[in-house]
């Protein structure tokens, strides 16, 4: 199961899984919600969610999509020639036997995870004159995306994972210290040249060299 990074999609040709399939690996790709559609928390959404789940929480819609994909894999993967076999949520217990987490190591103090109280302000901060979920639902998809794009608070992307005590049962640090994380092997870190070295598949060799020479020129200019 492959989860694409932020600001991407399962349709990106970089993540088609062909290389893994050539090696006999059953590759599962899927889409999950991102931006305001995946991470918007609001008190009115929490009230709606409580009627369904009993948990007064909201905001981790993209994470719940990922959990749903895991459950789908367990129910259907044998049809694709594989056997049944997100690490900190009780909602995913017994669904995985290992994980690879790339592009850095998670800080135990949750710098990218806000509280529900903090997250409840993101709708007003991003869209200004919209203060209720009913008003937001009357907006077009484009208006929501335009309002959220580029909106930051203290250099941190506003729509992010939320400590809701449902999808995320506790802080990452508390889960580790109390031995509540799933006991499965994990590989984490960075890949060689991954930071800034990846180009789209539609760029030519000449265009790549042109960009590379431009970067070199800029570096020399700054240095001198």
The verdict on residue 130 lying in a domain is yes
For 16-71, the pLDDT digits (tens) are 888 888 888 888 888 898 888 888 888 889 999 999 989 888 888 998 999 999 88
Two structure tokens written together for 175:
């889960």
The answer to whether position 5 is within a domain reads no
CA 27 to chain centre: 19
What pLDDT was estimated at residue 201?
A: 58
How do strand 162-163 and strand 114-115 relate by DSSP bridges? Answer: parallel
Give domain status of residue 2, yes or no.
Answer: no
Q: Kindly state whether residue 111 falls inside one of the protein's structural domains.
A: yes
What's 30's domain CATH number? 3.40.50.1820
Mean pLDDT highest for which of 68-82, 90-104, 105-119? 68-82
Locate 119 and state its tokens.
Answer: 């997250």
25 is a domain residue: yes
CA gap 184, 166 in Å, rounded: 21
Query: How would you label 165-183 residue by residue, b for 16+ Cβ within 10 Å and e otherwise?
Result: ebbbeebbeebeeeeeebe
Residue 58 lies in a domain: yes
Name which of 142, 183, 203, 164 is nearest 40 in CA terms. 164
- For the cut 60, the answer to whether the pLDDT of residue 153 exceeds it is no
Domain that holds residue 125: 13-223
Q: What is each CA distance from 114 to 37, 156, 207, in whole angstroms?
A: 17, 10, 40
What confidence tier does 84 reach under pLDDT thresholds 50, 70, 90?
low
Q: How many helices (H) and strands (E) does the chain have?
A: 10, 6
What is the mean predicted confidence (pLDDT) over 85-111? 69
Q: How many domains does the chain have?
A: 1
User: What is the residue-averaged pLDDT of the chain?
Assistant: 75
Residue 98: inside a domain, yes or no? yes
Per the domain annotation, does 1 fall within a domain?
no
Percent of the chain with pLDDT over 70: 66
**CA-to-CA distance for 120 and 202, rounded, in angstroms?**
40
Cα–Cα distance, 76 to 24 (Å, whole number): 18
């Amino acid at each position: 199961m492959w989860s694409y990074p932020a600001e991407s999609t399962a349709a990106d040709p970089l993540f088609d899984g062909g290389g893994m399939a050539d090696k006999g690996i059953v590759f599962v790709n899927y889409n999950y919600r991102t931006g305001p559609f995946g991470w918007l928390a609001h008190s009115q959404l929490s009230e709606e969610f409580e009627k369904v789940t009993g948990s007064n929480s909201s905001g981790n819609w993209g994470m719940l999509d990922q959990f749903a994909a895991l459950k789908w894999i367990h129910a259907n993967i044998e049809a694709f020639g594989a056997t049944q076999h997100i690490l900190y949520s009780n909602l995913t217990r017994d669904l995985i036997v290992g994980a690879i987490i790339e592009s850095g190591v998670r800080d135990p103090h949750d710098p990218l995870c806000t509280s529900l109280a903090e997250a409840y302000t993101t709708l007003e901060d991003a869209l200004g004159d919209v203060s209720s979920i009913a008003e937001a639902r009357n907006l077009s998809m484009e208006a929501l995306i335009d309002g959220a794009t580029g909106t930051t608070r203290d250099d941190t992307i506003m729509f992010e994972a939320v400590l809701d005590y449902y999808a995320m049962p506790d802080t990452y640090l508390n889960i580790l210290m109390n031995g509540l994380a799933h006991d499965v092997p994990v590989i984490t870190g960075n890949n060689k040249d991954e930071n800034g070295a990846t180009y789209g598949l539609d760029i030519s060799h000449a265009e790549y060299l042109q960009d590379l020479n431009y970067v070199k020129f800029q570096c020399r200019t700054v240095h001198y």
